[in-house]
Amino acid sequence: MEILGLLGDGMLIALQPLNLLLIIAGVTVGLFIGAMPGLGSVNGVAILLPITFLVPPSGAIIFLAAIYYGAMYGGAISSVTLGIPGASTAVATTFDGRPLAMKGRASLALVTAAIASFIGGSVANIIFTGFAPVLASVALSFGPPEIFALMLLAFATFVGLGGEDIPKTVLSICLGLVLGAIGFDQISGAPRLVLFDINAFLQGIGFLVLAIGVYGIGEMLWTIEQTRGEVENNTPKMTARGMVSDAREAMREGWKGTAIGSFLGFFVGILPAAGATPASLMSYGVAKMTSRKPEEFGRGSVDGVAAPEAANNSASTGSMLPMLTLGIPGSPTTAILLGGMVIWGLVPGPRLFVDESEFVWGLIGSFYISNMAALIINLAFIPVFIWMLRMPFTILAPMIFVLSIVGGYAATRDMFDIWLILIFGFGALVLRRLDYPLAPAVLAIVLGPIAEPTLRQSLLLSSGDPMIFFNRPVAGPITIIAIILILLPALKLLRRKKQPAPAGQ
């Protein structure tokens, strides 16, 4: 009951006129920042951080947290309407959100994203409120072996993302791992895979650059090739009755993906160095693996939109937990928030809940208010986003191209990345012609830079003994489950080959 009382006090603080205004402004700004390719929550929070010095510290962190929330919602907008991920956290949403839009169901995809995001954020807020100290200690117990085991479990779900052709899926994963390894070795610092001795490769290949190239330029080229530019406008006008119908369908068809994303996203989000991007990708993989209709994923599955959208919102709240309780940022965005707190004279850590109780519970209360505000604002703007899709493709294609280039340049301000975006776009077109799955490669380049150093650190801790992944209480079960999931598709394939061919063939 004490927690409920503190939460009630926190909500009253969040509902003060200034703080409520900051929440609405932050969510609205975050929504459009998240929808702009190349920006995302990290850049949005960093750019607007100086503005917060004009308000009290509690209002400042509430404003930045609201931007974070809004950006998580907004990332789905360009993923669905244009096929360009607004941020890395929304890449998995593109897998099914864009196919739904191409079928004239963009409103269903956007409504599903909004509802799943709200439920994911709500579940995470409740868990955060009730179990913050306990979960902080759990997150702290995750060392390199546990994190690598979790990444291995994520890779195990990748096999299911490539359809029935397992060899092509494995090759796609290997391609992503190679691209993720370009640059400086994270442990030794030695350069590796620097192609043609071009120094620009030393900084590595940014994930957003790859995502924009593959799902922005690549999707545009594929659509032009398949339709010769004559894309029919089959997007209906948005009505209130239509939104209610879409909401019912989203709840009916996407409840399983929403549940998976809400819980898995939060627990991945609380792990240091993980964050919302791995959480959304892993949730998508698990949702497909447990679905009764896995063949629909990648072709317009409602669950395929719900799972990553619930996960990235849940993970964004989860990443706040280690920041507040341990002083360890759980994502790049929370690292900026942590820096802001230090500037404002607040010391994150176990004592924060005692010494700055009013600030902490005001922030937690704002999570609930921001989540509700983001849902309302997002639903209100859906007709505007649908209107974008009703433009002729002859106008939409150049717009996608320009947004891809501008978004890629805005993220790093490096012309070399623009050339990489174009190369990845044409490469994605070639791979799609050869029927290679793109999703495993994109996912591998995200988790590869996390999995590799944790693998090497674990082997250093055990003097090269791989049993460290099996004899630890948390890493062991996760590793065993991952190995089983990796072997299952191979066993099914072998069993299918051993079955006698039907008579007459």
Sequential DSSP letters for 350-403: TTHHHHTHHHHHHHHHHHHHHHHHHHHHHHHHHHHHHHHHTS-HHHHHHHHHHH
| Count of Cβ atoms closer than 10 Å to residue 280 Cβ | 35
Question: What's residue 259's pLDDT?
Answer: 92
Give, for 72, the enclosing helix (H) or strand (E).
helix 57-81
CA distance 49 to 429: 39
**34 alpha-carbon distance from chain centroid:** 12
Let me know the angle formed at the C-alpha of 171 by 170 and 175, rounded to the nearest 5 degrees: 120
Partner residues linked to 192 by β-bridges? 183
Domain ranges for the chain, please list them. 2-496
CA distance 14 to 21: 10
Amino acid at 307: A
CA distance 232 to 310: 31
Tell me the DSSP string of 431-458: HHHTT--SHHHHHHHHHHHHHHHHHHHH
CA distance 307 to 161: 14
Q: Is residue 191 classed as helix, strand or coil in its secondary structure?
A: strand
Amino acid at 124: A
Sign of the dihedral defined by the CA atoms of residues 180, 186, 188, 190, in that order: positive
Residue for token pair 């599955």? 301
| Count of Cβ atoms closer than 10 Å to residue 361 Cβ | 23
Tell me the DSSP string of 150-190: HHHHHHHHHGGGGTT-HHHHHHHHHHHHHHHH-EE-TTT--
CA distance 167 to 323: 41
Q: Are 382 and 114 in contact (CB under 8 A)?
A: yes
Give, for 192, the enclosing helix (H) or strand (E).
strand 191-192
CA distance 96 to 111: 13
CA distance 63 to 65: 5
Interhelix angle 357-389/17-35, rounded to 10 degrees, is 40
Sign of the dihedral defined by the CA atoms of residues 374, 379, 381, 382, in that order: positive
CA distance 358 to 334: 20
CA distance 264 to 36: 27
Backbone angles phi, psi at 192, to 5 degrees: -150, 150
Q: Are 272 and 320 in contact (CB under 8 A)?
A: no
Q: Give the helix ranges, DSSP H, for 185-239.
A: 207-212, 218-227
Q: How many CA atoms lie less than 13 Å away from 357 in the CB half-sphere?
A: 8
Provide the greatest CA pair distance for the chain.
79
CA distance 101 to 110: 9
Successive 10-residue mean pLDDT values, the chain, 505 residues? 78 87 90 74 73 78 85 82 76 86 84 91 87 67 82 73 67 85 80 78 77 79 68 55 77 88 87 74 85 83 90 86 72 74 73 76 87 88 75 72 77 81 88 82 78 88 88 86 77 65 52
